[in-house]
């Protein structure tokens, strides 16, 4: 649950099209392996059998049964069986969400974004300078010079529906995609949130906002961070130097004196720590590196780091650990479940985890929860 720095809000919803490089993602039994063979990417199933040959320069994970793939600088889409359903032709391609995917083409040297369906047909023409993704039937779009802020001359953001109709008129200097029924919007140099009808839940007064998580959103007021509820009132008043999102009902906060605490939804301090914990996963959070281990929600150190160094969160009852340059897994009691014998491992998903025997050399090798 490491507190985030005051990042640019554009990072929270701009089209990030970089390929995965160190994560395992299952979808309908498929596991994504980036840089699978000689720098090429493909897919294997949960038993390590090649389903899609490694012939792509870059790939995204599967969503809604489709994955974006890059070949020779152009992006298209494949199905879970490897069939190319949309030939590589776009400058960029995002995930499918609400049945549509944002893609871009180059027009007179400028990128123009629109949305395609699963057949590759443009349902919303590529006429926008930037776009977010569809969520709850709406997506933020940057209208370009057609709508400009009269004071600054900068184009404005609004929201469209899946038919391309404007549902929230362009009046924002920036807009995030919807999350949990609300979207962050910037008016002038201040932020607030709108609901799905386009109504602001508070006056634009925040210096930074992050999407809602577990019913609350991180907001910054001046130099102080706090948490905002969906009704536009503070659930925890801004008084901290930094905060993290809530995870399993808990969040990490840092006071202006540098004291790190974990609080519940009411703002009550559950425990203090010398090291910023990770997000809670399966009831446990990592703290402290070699001198730490895993703590429970009360802050009790339930797994102490000794000769092994915990470096990943728990997934499906196991957490990856390292020892003398080799990696394995421990269970929730701190017992070694799979001895450290791999050069690297990925987290478990659907009872499978990928591993490598040589550093930075990933092949189609997979273990189950018993290490077989």
Per-residue pLDDT tens over the stretch 197-256 = 999 999 999 999 999 999 999 999 999 999 999 999 999 999 999 999 998 899 999 999
List C-alpha distances in Å: 18 to 58, 63, 106, 354, 362. 8, 16, 19, 21, 19
pLDDT at 151 (0 to 100)? 65
Average pLDDT, integer, range 109-131 = 95
Residue 288 CB contacts under 8 Å (≥ 6 apart), including other chains:
273, 274, 275, 305
Per-residue pLDDT tens over the stretch 162-202 = 999 999 999 999 999 999 999 999 999 999 999 999 999 99
Average pLDDT score, the chain: 84
Residue found under tokens 């402290």: 288
| pTM > 0.85: yes or no | no
pLDDT at 150 (0 to 100)? 60
Cα separation, 367 vs 351, in Å, equals: 8
Least Cα distance to 142 among 182, 170, 101, 100 occurs for 170
pLDDT at 40 (0 to 100)? 80
* Domains of the chain, residue spans: 16-97, 285-372
Q: How much of the chain exceeds pLDDT 90, in percent?
A: 52
Residue spans of alpha helices (H) in 158-235: none
Topology annotation, domain 16-97: Thrombin, subunit H (2.40.10)
DSSP 237-261: EEEESEE---BTTBEEEE-TT--EE
Q: How much of the chain exceeds pLDDT 70, in percent?
A: 83
pLDDT at 351 (0 to 100)? 85
Residue length, the chain?
372
pLDDT at 77 (0 to 100)? 97
Cα separation, 361 vs 164, in Å, equals: 45
Q: Are 285 and 274 in contact (CB under 8 A)?
A: no
Per-residue pLDDT tens over the stretch 10-66 = 222 222 222 233 344 444 445 554 445 567 888 777 667 778 888 899 888 888 889
Cα separation, 252 vs 242, in Å, equals: 8
């Amino acid at each position: 649950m490491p507190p985030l720095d005051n990042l640019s809000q554009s990072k929270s919803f701009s089209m990030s099209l970089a390929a995965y490089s160190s994560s395992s993602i299952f979808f309908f039994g498929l596991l994504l392996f980036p840089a699978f063979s000689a720098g090429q990417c493909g897919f294997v199933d949960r038993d390590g059998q090649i389903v899609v040959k490694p012939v792509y320069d870059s790939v995204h994970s599967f969503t809604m049964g489709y994955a974006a793939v890059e070949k020779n600088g152009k992006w298209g889409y494949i199905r879970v069986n490897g069939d190319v359903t949309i030939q590589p032709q776009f400058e960029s391609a995002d995930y499918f969400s609400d049945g549509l995917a944002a893609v871009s083409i180059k027009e007179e040297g400028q990128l123009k974004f629109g949305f395609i369906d699963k057949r590759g047909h443009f349902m919303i023409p590529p006429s926008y300078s930037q776009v977010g993704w569809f969520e709850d039937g709406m997506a933020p779009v940057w209208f370009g010079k057609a709508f400009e802020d009269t004071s600054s001359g900068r184009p404005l953001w609004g929201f469209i529906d899946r038919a391309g109709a404007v549902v929230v008129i362009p009046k924002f200097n920036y807009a995030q995609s919807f999350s949990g029924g609300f979207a962050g919007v910037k008016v002038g140099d201040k932020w607030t949130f709108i609901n799905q009808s386009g109504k602001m839940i508070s006056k634009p007064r925040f210096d930074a906002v992050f999407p809602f998580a577990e019913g609350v959103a991180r907001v910054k007021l001046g130099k102080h961070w706090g948490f905002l509820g969906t009704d536009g009132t503070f659930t925890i008043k801004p008084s901290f130097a930094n905060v993290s999102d809530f995870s399993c009902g808990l969040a990490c906060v840092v006071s202006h004196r540098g004291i790190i605490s974990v609080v519940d939804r009411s703002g009550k301090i559950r425990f203090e720590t010398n090291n910023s914990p990770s997000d809670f996963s399966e009831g446990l959070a990592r703290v402290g590196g070699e001198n730490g281990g895993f703590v429970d929600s009360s802050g009790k150190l339930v797994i102490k780091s000794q000769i092994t160094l915990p470096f990943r969160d728990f997934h499906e009852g196991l957490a990856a650990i390292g020892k003398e340059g080799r990696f394995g897994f421990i269970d929730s009691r701190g017992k070694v479940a799979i001895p450290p014998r791999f050069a690297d491992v990925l987290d478990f998903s659907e009872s499978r985890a990928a591993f490598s025997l040589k550093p930075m050399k990933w092949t189609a090798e997979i273990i189950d929860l018993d290490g077989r």
